[in-house]
Amino acid sequence: MEGRIQHLAAIIDPALPPYTRRAFTEPFLRGRRWLQAEFEAAGLSTVTDAGGNLMGKLAGSEPGALPIAMGSHSDTVVGGGRYDGIAGVVAALEVAQSLAEDGMRPRHPLWVVDFLAEEASDYGPSCVGSRAIAGTLSPAMLEAANAQGESLAEALRRMGGDPDRAAAGPIHGREPFAAFVEMHIEQGPVLESEGLPIGVVTGVVGIRRLALRVQGQADHAGTTPMHMRRDALVGAAELIKLVHQRAREAHTHTGLVATVGQMTHSPNQSNVVPESALLTIDARCASMQGVTDFTDAIVREGGSLLAGHGLALEHTLVLDAEPCSFAPPVRQAIGNAARKRGHAFREMQSGAGHDAMHIAQVCPTGMLFVPSRGGRSHASQEHTTTQQLCVGAEVLLEAVLELDATLPLR
């Protein structure tokens, strides 16, 4: 696994910092060709599906049984690391290869999946391949173009996919897999800080993103008395502080987190009182009610806070993503697998989106996390030790074997 991770870490875009392999680019395709060869050398037959997902298949012993799928993604963000996504692909490959080498035939076929474009793509959508499997890749998403004017549909065709089929509903049917399991690095500090090797993921948080506009008035920075100003940036600062304070309060009860990560203001001149500020709030919580209560309170309290400064507050909803909770039988299989191998674990939410939350719409799905050093991710410092990867792959193997033994064949 470590050798494969380091090999892929060298197939990157030389123009971008350390480990960049953006979906749809030449380095991504080179990585894919190498992965495909590795899948085949491990004894798997390979195919690229209509969603541009690379799949390696190990035949099962029972004719007509639904496959059990495992995997993650090999694309990265710009300036990303070596483990996000890739760890889950090589662990899934290792599991299938171990079974093939030991001459063990699971009852269900076992599919190793490298999903296309999990990270937000240059065409807009993230999780392109897993959405195609879930049947939620809309025609509007496929029509969206990148900066060079190429549509996602054209790009998908370049990756070996079929945009017409991808737009027409779930590409492998309404029940594609008996189950899906994704191993992924945690991308946060919880497992490392608690000294635990495994996280059993209960679900993915709901996300609400708002765009806020603070409207004041542009005036001369020298001639306008302080009490007569309507300074939008002062209002934005108050708002940011309010978001942080209220999120800290909510976090202790509900685990909610919220971030103001983006802001621009105008006219952005040293000698002009700021007229307007645009900022975003990204709020995430296991319950959608928690997210909406929080953003409603911010809009209400923020509005009256800003009115005191002579400022107006407008808000627009940018994104509402419902939380997803993973299937109890898959969660149990992962927990049982960790116990069987003697590895401590905890249950935890994922604060980040993953392919698994899309696949969860069409089959019983679960995820396991392995630790991330310092919680670092989407950065070149991303690191998970070989030992930690091995523990994750062992648990993935045991979980898949339990699911293979217990799940109905079709």
Query: Where on the chain is the footprint of Zn ion (CB under 5 A)?
Result: 84-85
Phi, psi (deg, nearest 5) at residue 68? -100, 125
85 or 274: whose CB is closer to Zn ion? 85
Rounded to an integer, what is the distance from CA 161 to the centroid of its chain? 21
Reported as type and span, the H/E element at residue 218 is none
Nearer to Zn ion, 8 or 243 (CB): 8
CA distance 157 to 51: 9
84 or 114, CB closer to Zn ion? 84
Q: How far is the CB of 354 from Zn ion (least distance, A)?
A: 6
Q: Where are the alpha helices (DSSP H) in 320-363?
A: 328-340, 355-359
User: Given the complex with Zn ion, which of 89 and 273 has the nearer CB atom?
Assistant: 89
CB of 217 to Zn ion, least distance (A): 44
What burial letters (b/e) apply to 360-380, b meaning 16+ CB within 10 Å?
bbbbbbbbbbbbbbebbbbbe
> Of the two residues 130 and 295, which places its CB atom closer to Zn ion in the complex?
130
Q: Is 117 or 298 the residue whose CB approaches Zn ion more closely?
A: 117
Question: Tokens 């994104």 — which residue?
Answer: 319
Least distance in angstroms from the C-beta of 203 to Zn ion: 16
Nearest approach in angstroms of CB 115 to Zn ion is 9
Give me the least distance between CB of 46 and Zn ion, in Å please: 22
| Cβ at position 133, least distance to Zn ion in Å | 16
Question: DSSP for 16-61?
Answer: SSTT---TTSHHHHHHHHHHHHHHHHTT-EEEE-TT--EEEEE--S
Query: Could you give the C-alpha distances from 45 to 218, 359, 406, in angstroms and in order?
Result: 65, 22, 25
